[in-house]
Amino acid sequence: MTSNRILSLLSFIAIVVGGGILIGLATTPGDWFAGLQKPWFNPPGWLFAPVWTVLYVAIAVAGWRTFQRRPGGTSMAIWSIQLILNFTWSPVFFGLHMIGLSLIVIIVLLATIVAFIVATWRVDRPSGLLFVPYLAWVIFATALNFSILLLN
């Protein structure tokens, strides 16, 4: 791998993981979230940071692979949209305390994750596969968001 490709990959990882960390630090759950009723399947808070870190690395690698293949293509546009939606969810949920709106954001995020997997499956299966754990986690997070909305 050339030094330009390595630098490009590291840039994707820095943007995605760094962006996720910054948004996480800016929108910590806090007292508001602690006071909400949560479903029985709500995981412990410590689990989110390591899970999201691994997922963000996978998201970055998939984005980098897609960018290397066709930077102006549909798959790259879908990848960009999902990242914007991903980075939007925490400020809407934890920052604005808008559980219903955050549910809409996460449902649209789910759709873009599926769209990315479909768009990349035949042309770059590893990128599609990198999104499968992300899809599973966001399905779980959607169920959690929906349950919190119903309980509160």
Structural domain boundaries of the chain?
3-151
**pLDDT for res 99:** 98
DSSP annotation of 131 reads T
Q: What is the pTM of this model?
A: 0.95
Q: Which class for 1: exposed (0-12), middle (13-18), buried (19 or more C-beta within 10 A)?
A: exposed
Instruction: Let me know: does 120 contact 128? Beta carbons within 8 Å.
Output: yes
Give the C-alpha separation, 91 to 89, whole Å: 6
Q: Tell me the longest C-alpha to C-alpha distance in the chain.
A: 52
Q: What share of the chain is helix, strand, coil (3-state, %, to 5)?
A: 80, 0, 20
**pLDDT for res 1:** 77
- CA-closest candidate to residue 123, choices 66, 51, 83, 50: 66
pLDDT tens string, the chain, 152 residues long: the values are 799 999 999 999 999 999 999 999 999 999 999 999 999 999 999 999 999 999 999 999 999 999 999 999 999 999 999 999 999 999 999 999 999 999 999 999 999 999 999 999 999 999 999 999 999 999 999 999 999 999 99
Instruction: Let me know: does 86 contact 116? Beta carbons within 8 Å.
Output: no
Give the C-alpha separation, 20 to 26, whole Å: 10
